[in-house]
Amino acid sequence: MTEPELIESTGDRQCDRIAQGVIGIFETAFPGRVRGFYLRGSHASGTSIEGSDLDLFIVFKDRFADSAEYERARALSEHCGQLTPMLLEILLVGERGLRQPSGVGAALNLKLATRHLYGEDIRAELPSYDADTYVRSVVHTPYVSYTFPVQRRNGPLVYPLDHIDPDGPFFGFGQWKDGSGRPSTKLLIATVGWTATAIIALQSGQYVRDKAACVELYQEHVADQWTDLVTRVHDLCRNRWHNQLPSSAPDRQTLRELCDHTLDFQNHFLELYRQYQRAELASGDADRQQLAAQRLTEIVFPDRAAS
């Protein structure tokens, strides 16, 4: 197979080579099964920095043939990641799933925040932005991703939360590694970013394209006591420290304070999340009511614990 020619460059020669390699591997391993390859994340928005991940969408035609095909694609993605000098994140989706309610977040990200690299471009065919559907999709992201699953691994999530690692220098937020295997601030950035994204959605219904947009939209549409945290995590952890744990004592103390404050931000989100789920119970939609009831049994709040 000849080297795939990218429809659009990532803007970085090394990233182009990695993307071409991933495309060639998947085209060889799954002939005729991939609809298209897309660039997402900071490289797509032109906001990448040193140490930024390379984020790709790989869209399979129709849907995955079976669970075995998906597992082979997932394993191949992980193997590709082992060959790259930077952290490679590949989001695998079936085309049909992008048109389901559960896939609205991925569909909007694909439609509004990607560059088309190879294959067919299906973005124009995807559903247009609908604020209500988007909110119902993105509001759950902080809860089902990142630190919340770790905090509830031994049973229901108990409010108020405690740190993942109360005795750790960064309370457990330094456990994610970068592409070189070094501890990083990536978990903190992701936790604050997705929590802020969910709150922006709840407050304004605004779609958040990327990390930089998240900060701007939070400042514009939320502007509460957590705005400084959202802004500083982005400016310091991402832009100044380039996702790395800082080495100087003053910077490490600043990072520790940001990590500590993030716990309060998470607890603030859980209060809003409970209010949202209570409103969903009154929505009259059976599916939404069922999900809300499930979520409210998974989180123990003081008033319920005492009753």
Residue 42 sits in a domain whose CATH number is 3.30.460.10
Give the mean model confidence (pLDDT) for residues 248-258: 98
Instruction: Identify whether residues 185 and 272 lie together within a single domain.
Output: yes
Identify the domain boundary among 77, 109, 128.
128
Say how many domains are in the chain: 2
pLDDT of 306: 40
Name the band, by pLDDT with cuts 50, 70 and 90, for residue 110: very high
Average pLDDT, the chain: 92
Beta-sheet strands, E only, within the chain: 34-40, 54-60, 88-94, 115-119, 157-158, 299-300
Identify the pLDDT of residue 155. 72
Domain that holds residue 62: 13-128
Interval 114-124 mean pLDDT: 97
The whole-number average pLDDT for the span 62-80 is: 96
Q: How far apart are CA 134 and CA 161, in angstroms?
A: 27
Rounded mean pLDDT, 7-34: 96
- pLDDT exceeds cutoff 50 at 307: no
233 pLDDT above the threshold of 70? yes
- What percent of the chain shows pLDDT beyond 90? 78
CA 201 to chain centre: 14
What token pair was written down for 43?
A: 């490289």
Query: Which of 85, 103, 128 is the C-terminal boundary of a domain?
Result: 128
pLDDT of the residue at 85: 86
Q: Which of 15-24, 128-137, 154-163 comes out lowest in average pLDDT? A: 154-163
Q: How confident is the model at residue 1 (pLDDT cuts 50, 70, 90)?
A: low
Indicate if 142 and 291 belong to the same structural domain.
Answer: yes
Residue 122's pLDDT band (cuts 50, 70, 90)? very high
Q: Is residue 1 part of a domain?
A: no
> Bridge-partner residues for 116, per DSSP?
38
Does any domain span residue 30? Answer: yes
Share of the chain above pLDDT 70, in %: 95
Average pLDDT of the residues in 160-171: 93
- 3-class DSSP state for residue 26? helix
| Residue 49 pLDDT greater than 90, yes or no | no
pLDDT at residue 149, as a whole number: 67
Residue-wise pLDDT tens digits, 201-224: 999 999 999 999 999 999 999 999
pTM for the structure as a whole: 0.89
188 and 276, same structural domain?
yes
- What is the full DSSP assignment across 224-250? STTHHHHHHIIIIIIIITTTBPP-SHH
**Residue 5, pLDDT score:** 96
Block residue for tokens 């859980």: 270
| Residue where a domain terminates, one of 128, 144, 169 | 128
Asked whether residue 121 falls in the same domain as residue 158, the answer is: no
What's the whole-number mean pLDDT along residues 18-32?
A: 97
pLDDT for residue 304 is more than 60: no
Question: What average pLDDT does the segment 132-161 reach?
Answer: 82
In this structure, the answer to whether residues 139 and 226 fall within a common structural domain is yes
Residue 179 lies in a domain: yes
CA distances from 185 to 83, 100, 142, 161 (A): 23, 33, 17, 20
